[in-house]
A and B are shown apart, each in its own frame.
Chain A
Amino acid sequence: MIEIVRAGPLATVQDLGRPGWRDRGLSLCGALDEFALQAGNLLVGNAPGAAGLEFTLGAATLRFHADTCIAVTGTDADASLDGRPLRPWWRQRVRAGQTLKLAAPRERMRSYVAVAGGLDLPLALGSLSTDLKGGFGGLDGRALRDGDRLPLNPLPTLPAGKVGMRPPDWTPTVRVLPGPEHDDFTAAAREAFWAADWTVTPQSNRMGYRLAGPVLARERGEELASHGVLPGVIQVPPAGQPIVLLADAQTTGGYPKIAVVIRADLWKLGQLRLGARLRFLPCTPAEALAALREQRLLLEQMRMALCMST
């Protein structure tokens, strides 16, 4: 069992989300930095999509009540186990009674803790992800609180060996493809979209980041009929300040979509903090596919390498 001594600003149970119900209005949810969650799971011998803990801005403390094996990923924060430095992105054996502390990250936003065997919580519609808006999944459909206790799946043997990985490079720059309404915006707006340093405003959450920057005006102003939207879609409400949708976004929307962040760079968005600057980089569908293929290959190679080493 894991005891959440301090949950920090926002801590939730997340896996890779709950696809398959968006035609019924259920958000996808899931880890905002999917790469970090999957890497952490592989490091502790789990399936890459097992549920782990997502912490926002660190400042969290966990106590383990069983011997286990963990990996802290996603973060560039200092972490410690019983006061001794713990290396993020490495497998770490933990003994019952030990305490893990996550400090505030330097630049990034979210840290993940993967635990060998995974969390023993009930699946909700095929996923352990917390749907904060829907109030289900994870632990009782809510953010973790100080004092929560999370049961772990028992394991006959814990993975052994010292393994770790180099964290992926993170920059506050994401590649995007033009959206269906890209050409409806004025030439000046299109230029400003690419050139601007966008600021993530405090009115942002797991549903989406509201950005501040130059006002993006449309050439044609007709209303759009409600349509399906996805994490990564950048929509522009009439006020002209874009919103980048994230994992908890609602399933349909009606604002024009100037661009879409490519799948392989969604994790970079998840690591942006409030007040951070963000830039968009144009790319092609072929580049988007190549980046996604490379990311999946990296995880697959990691899985193979870890299989061989243990």
Chain B
Amino acid sequence: MVPLSIHPLGETALCCTLPAPLSLAQQQRIWQLAAGMAVMEGVQELIPGMNNLTLVFDPLRTDPAELAAAALALWASPPRRQALGRLVEIPVTYDGPDLGDVAAHCGLSADEVVHRHTQGQYVVYFIGFQPGFAYLGGLDESLQTPRRAEPRLAVPAGSVGIGGAQTGIYPQATPGGWQLIGRTALALFDPRAEPPTLLAPGDRVRFVAVPE
């Protein structure tokens, strides 16, 4: 079994880290660990990262040594068969300003880029950077495209893009360097909703091409 190493992050958090390489099976166990630790006394937040988990707690209510021991015990217990997260379909209008550049870079037609992008099976590894911004694994290698040399000052909310080996959706308008291939009308982040984000770690994502 892959060893879990645990380091303090100040007196209020622990970082639980797995060695590279990252794999979906390993990341699934990170989500399981988060779910298992969520019920512990004094635990306030569990933030999954890429191949790691940050555990935030109240140090006056719980002892970090006990929390670390509990995490290691959970890690050593046999993995549960993981039911994959929800399948979320995201309707995308593929008319992004960089679709042509991505097609040229990949040596494919624009239609083929769209086809391959919609054939992908994506998984939300974790969420960060912005509310509801999902780091998705599963981009077809033939679609990998470097970021733009000149980042845009304003990428509109709902933009679907490719940045290196990553694909994803910007929940909110922001400066950004990804190649924009389309857009979705779905709200990825709504502070009036509970939960406030469409996607959660472990969710599966499929992009569905829709006309304007």
Contact = CB atoms under 8 A, between A and B. Distances in A.
Contacts of A124: 191-192
A125 B46 contact: no
Interface string A1-29: 00000000000000000011111111100
B45 interface: yes
A102 B72 CA distance: 52
- In the complex, which range does the number of interface residues on chain B fall in? 35 or more
Interface in A114-142: 124-125, 131, 133-137, 141
B17 A227 contact: yes
Chain B interface helix/strand/loop/mixed: loop
A25 B130 contact: yes
Interface in B137-151: none
B49 A24 contact: no
Nearest to A284: B11
A225 B56 contact: no
Interface stretch (A48-56, A62-70, A285-293): A285-293
Contacts of A230: 9-10, 12-13, 54, 56
Interface string B119-149: 0000000111111110100000000000000
A23 B47 contact: yes
Nearest to B48: A23
Given A20-B44, A228-B53, A293-B60, 4 more contacts: A23-B46, A23-B126, A23-B201, A227-B15
A288 B22 contact: no
Contacts of B130: 25, 133-134, 250
Chain A's interface size range is 35 or more
Given A24-B132, A226-B126, A136 B11 contact: no
B51 interface: yes
B197 interface: yes
B11 A228 contact: no
B79 interface: no
A136 B191 contact: yes
Nearest to B191: A136
Nearest to B193: A125
B164 to A, nearest CB: 13
B172 interface: yes
B15 A261 contact: no
Contacts of A201: none
A284 to B, nearest CB: 9
B15 A233 contact: no
B194 A135 contact: no
Q: Which 5 A-B pairs have the closest CB atoms?
A: A228-B54, A252-B128, A228-B47, A260-B10, A136-B191
Given A227-B17, A230-B12, A252-B47, A137 B191 contact: yes
A262 interface: yes
A177 interface: yes
A288 B56 CA distance: 15
Interface of B: 7-13, 15, 17, 20, 22, 34, 44-54, 56, 59-60, 64, 126-133, 135, 171-172, 189, 191-192, 194-197, 200-201
24 contacts: A19-B45, A21-B195, A23-B201, A24-B200, A25-B128, A25-B171, A131-B191, A134-B131, A135-B172, A177-B11, A226-B126, A226-B128, A227-B17, A227-B50, A227-B54, A228-B48, A228-B56, A230-B12, A230-B54, A233-B10, A250-B128, A263-B59, A285-B11, A288-B59
Contacts of A233: 9-10
A26 B131 contact: yes
Nearest to B195: A24
B200 A252 contact: no
A241 B132 CA distance: 29
A292 B60 contact: yes
Contacts of B172: 134-135
Given A125-B191, A263-B12, A296 B60 contact: yes
A252 B129 contact: yes
Contacts of B12: 230, 263
A289 B50 contact: no
B196 A285 contact: no
Given A180-B15, A230-B10, A24 B131 contact: yes
A210 interface: no
A232 interface: yes
